Amino acid sequence: MGKIIPIDVLGECGHPSPFKANYPKFFTDDNGVVRLVHTLDYAPGASADDIEYFQRAGARERLFFRPEETTVGIVTCGGLCPGLNGVIRAATFCAVEGYGVKKVLGFRYGYQGLAEDETYPPLELIPDEIDEIHEKGGTVLKSSRGPQDSGRMAETLRRRGVNVLIVIGGDGTLRGARDLQAELKARGLPIAVVCVPKTIDNDIGVIERSFGFETAVQQASEVITRAHAEAKSIRHGVGLVKLMGRESGWIAASASVANSNVNFCLIPEVPFGLEGPGCFFEHLRRRLESKDHAVVVVAEGAGQDLMAAAGGEDRSGNRRLADIGPFLKDRAEAWFRRAGVEVNIKYFDPSYAIRSTPANAADSEYCLRLGYNAVHAGMAGKTGLVLGLHNDRLVHLPIALTAERKLVDPQGWLWQMVLQATRQPVCMLGKAGPSPAAPQNH
């Protein structure tokens, strides 16, 4: 019979949904239709009782909030990601056109706008005025980094009469949403906090694919094509491309597989050495001597152990990384100089140019779905939840479940594809190095 992972609710749903008239059979039931989690694999001896399920996202037949009295707020936090405007637009359309809510407020500059409401008053979002924002990159609500005081944010929501707050942001933002939910509860304010997870790195636990990721991989692949052209046009040419991925190598690995012109892919999950025998530079040299050029893709979080710690954290509380791109370039140039071997490295750092593009079709579709379902969840009084695609369906996850980061499994199919597409060595740690990371459950 299994177990459905529960989602917090503000109270009983006493109001009929106005969607009912138009879409009679579209409602999703909290209990009737759910999804299992973690337990896809055949487990001899397992009982059906052990299976865990997620609650499925979707419009509910009965609502906690009375639409015509409801105000929805939206806020975007952290760095850019393709599709932000698509989520904003979809949530606004669903709330106004679908439910007929009273008002949709767009808080500006991320949590800062929620905390400093007098300085940065919110915009009212009107469907007709934002009808084409999804065709542009960036976020019309603007963003900022870093946490803000939960009390001040709660106070703004109360004063502005917000009933449902849709928060679009990454893991720091989700932590902030959890604190805010707690604060609201402590104050007895029945305000729903619904999160749309945003990570261009695609590394939020449990969630199959985050919006903007496929667009980023497409853009990254196009940059790799250019790096390939540079590398092939000079003797011992190296096209070195740094891609996003602070803790995980999803973009780097996927783009390397998609492009198929990459010779070395370096990611945080797979340690490597630079200068010793059996290490990266030796393999790079061999490649240059046999093929005259190489394309190297490195995730920004790769090889952090090789550099002196940069120290500190940024305003979002993210560990500040040392910059692996210029570091690799300098070290390689020095190593090849000592070895008396010519090398010509062209360095590409396309991160801003990638993250500021509009969403491609697949992500646009996904963003529309996320925006609509965030409003559906909020209108039903669900709170403290994250929307996510899991086994190809959209589900409700408790915020806490998404805290774990999703990593590229060095034993999994993606890294296997990378090794086959690049033909790079399984291990570039040299003789004394440790063996590759242990398999992860992926």
Residue 250 makes contact with a copy of itself by CB under 8 A: no
Answer whether 281's CB lies under 8 Å from 226's CB: no
Q: Which of 53, 113, 77, 58 is nearest to 196 (CA)?
A: 77
> Smallest distance from the beta carbon of 178 to a copy of itself, in angstroms?
24
Give, as ranges, the residues between 338 and 357 that touch a copy of itself (CB under 8 A). Answer: 346-350, 352-353, 356-357
Residue 48 makes contact with a copy of itself by CB under 8 A: yes
* Burial class of residue 297, CB neighbours in 10 A (0-12, 13-18, 19+): buried
Strand partners, 240: 296, 347
- Residue closer to a copy of itself by CB (options 190, 413) is 413
Answer whether 425's CB lies under 8 Å from 263's CB: no
Strand partners, 375: none
Contacting residue, 35, 198, 246, 329, with a copy of itself by CB under 8 A: 35
Residue 238 makes contact with a copy of itself by CB under 8 A: no
> Smallest distance from the beta carbon of 388 to a copy of itself, in angstroms?
13
* Burial class of residue 57, CB neighbours in 10 A (0-12, 13-18, 19+): buried
Residue 109 makes contact with a copy of itself by CB under 8 A: yes
Amino acid found at 37: V
Locus of tokens 């009912």: 20
Contacts of 291 (CB under 8 A, 6+ apart): 263
Contacts of 151 (CB under 8 A, 6+ apart): 183
201 counts as catalytic: yes
Strand partners, 124: 105
Answer whether 213's CB lies under 8 Å from 202's CB: yes
Residue 23 makes contact with a copy of itself by CB under 8 A: yes
- Residue closer to a copy of itself by CB (options 102, 393) is 393
- Residue closer to a copy of itself by CB (options 317, 439) is 439
Give, as ranges, the residues between 282 and 301 that touch a copy of itself (CB under 8 A). Answer: 292
Residue 217 makes contact with a copy of itself by CB under 8 A: yes
- Residue closer to a copy of itself by CB (options 142, 187) is 142
Contacting residue, 11, 12, 22, 434, with a copy of itself by CB under 8 A: 22
- Residue closer to a copy of itself by CB (options 183, 363) is 363
Residue burial 397-426, b: 16+ Cβ < 10 Å; e: rest: bbbebbeeebbbbbebebbeebbebbebee
Strand partners, 72: 104, 164
Answer whether 45's CB lies under 8 Å from 382's CB: no
Give, as ranges, the residues between 185 and 214 that touch a copy of itself (CB under 8 A). Answer: 208, 214
Residue 53 makes contact with a copy of itself by CB under 8 A: yes
Residue 2 makes contact with a copy of itself by CB under 8 A: yes
DSSP 99: I
How many residues bind a copy of itself, per CB under 8 A?
A: 98
Question: By rule CB under 8 A, what string of x and - marks binding of each residue 385-404 to a copy of itself?
Answer: ------xxxx----------
Give, as ranges, the residues between 110 and 169 that touch a copy of itself (CB under 8 A). Answer: 112, 134, 136-140, 142-144
Of the candidate spans 61-69, 197-205, 223-231, 282-290, the one that interacts with a copy of itself by CB under 8 A turns out to be: 223-231
Of the candidate spans 8-16, 50-58, 157-165, 311-319, the one that interacts with a copy of itself by CB under 8 A turns out to be: 50-58
Residue 364 makes contact with a copy of itself by CB under 8 A: yes
Residue 318 makes contact with a copy of itself by CB under 8 A: no
Residue 360 makes contact with a copy of itself by CB under 8 A: yes
Q: Is 53 helix (H, G, I), strand (E, B) or coil?
A: strand
Contacting residue, 7, 94, 101, 192, with a copy of itself by CB under 8 A: 94
Catalytic residue among 30, 117, 179, 201: 201
Answer whether 304's CB lies under 8 Å from 269's CB: no
Residue 43 makes contact with a copy of itself by CB under 8 A: yes
Amino acid found at 259: N
Query: What residues are labeled active site?
Result: 201
